[in-house]
């Protein structure tokens, strides 16, 4: 059993991971500026604060084995806001984790770090999880930068860091593109558990995707660290439900996001 710190624990992904990680037998520390909608239960400790608050981070890291870093802005926004939340926030988490002797981190990168890669729909498994960045937005740039911070801290401090390129996350696929690039909550938990088991230092950039039929994602990089996803978007919905999914731009891995005006918030 491990003790995991989840930053951004009140967010959509954090809320989905919490009960699954508890069911796997782990204790959780929840860090967020906002109190989670589901109150902390046995096995959980809530620390109010942000990734810009060194004291809150130090408190949250007490007794922790592995960090699950989810805090940040999850879509396109103003440049300065993205840099503060996604780059400086990540730097702060990695610095405080290092100071606390916590050497395992899985951090939420994004498919949008490689969003401008033309999506080869007729070539399943053709895009490796650790492909060089080709971002589609300022948001994607900050996620690529987060990956570089992971590389730096892994090399400088002997940490085991996984940069997880998350796709269309949700309980079930929500668009035609998500049938190819879906990240199920259960599979994302499998990636967290693979990170908990890491012992050798290094930085790993991997697809945090499910094993979706026909996906262009090559899952080999994740499999090398013990991440073996099992869910498949094509088996979650019946044919009528799949046919009714909204269409989305399939020219690039980033989908419709490649057309967003740079620096304009979508919220």
With H, G, I as helix, E, B as strand and everything else as coil, classify residue 86.
Answer: helix
Round to whole Å and give the CA distance between 94 and 149: 8
* Residues whose CB is less than 8 angstroms from the CB of residue 122 and which lie 6 or more positions away in sequence, other chains included: none
Q: Quick check: 262 and 76 in contact, CB under 8 A?
A: yes
Active-site residue (options: 139, 153, 169, 252): 139
Task: Give kind and range of the element (H or E) at residue 3.
Answer: strand 3-7
What is the CA 204 to chain-centroid distance, rounded? 13
Residue 218's CB: how many other CB atoms inside 10 A?
18
Angstrom distances, CA of residue 201 to CA of 65, 128, 176, 225, 237: 14, 21, 38, 11, 39
Instruction: Answer for the pair 58, 49: CB distance below 8 angstroms, yes or no.
Output: no
252 is catalytic: no
Strands 217-218 and 127-128, bridge-based pairing: parallel
- Closest by CA position to 18, among listed 206, 104, 10: 10
Rg (CA), the chain: 17
**CA–CA gap between residue 110 and residue 90 (Å, rounded):** 14
How many helices and strands (H and E) does the chain possess?
A: 9, 11
Cα 66–chain centre separation: 14
Q: Please list the active-site residues.
A: 139
């Amino acid at each position: 059993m491990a003790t995991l710190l989840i930053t951004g624990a009140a967010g959509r992904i954090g809320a989905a991971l919490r009960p699954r990680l508890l069911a796997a037998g782990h204790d959780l520390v929840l860090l967020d500026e906002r109190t989670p909608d589901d109150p902390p239960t046995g096995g959980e400790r809530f620390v109010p604060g942000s990734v810009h608050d060194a004291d809150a981070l130090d408190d949250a890291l007490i007794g922790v084995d592995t960090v699950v870093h989810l805090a940040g802005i999850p879509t396109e926004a103003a440049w300065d806001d993205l840099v503060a939340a996604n780059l400086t926030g990540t730097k702060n988490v990695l610095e405080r984790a290092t100071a606390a002797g916590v050497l395992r981190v899985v951090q939420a990168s994004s498919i949008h770090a490689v969003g401008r890669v033309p999506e080869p729909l007729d070539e399943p498994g053709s895009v490796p999880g650790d492909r060089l960045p080709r971002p589609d937005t300022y948001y994607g740039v900050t996620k690529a930068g987060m990956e570089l911070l992971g590389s730096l801290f892994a090399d400088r401090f002997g940490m085991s860091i996984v940069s997880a390129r998350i796709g269309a996350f949700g309980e079930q696929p929500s668009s035609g593109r998500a049938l190819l690039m879906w990240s199920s909550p259960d599979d994302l938990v499998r990636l967290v558990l693979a990170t908990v088991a890491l012992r050798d230092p290094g930085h790993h950039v991997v697809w945090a995707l499910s094993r979706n039929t026909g996906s262009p994602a090559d899952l080999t990089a994740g499999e090398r660290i013990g991440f073996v996803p099992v869910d498949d978007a094509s088996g979650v919905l019946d044919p009528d439900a799949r046919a009714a999914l909204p269409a989305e731009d399939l020219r690039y891995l980033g989908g419709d996001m490649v057309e967003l005006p740079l620096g304009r918030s979508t919220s």
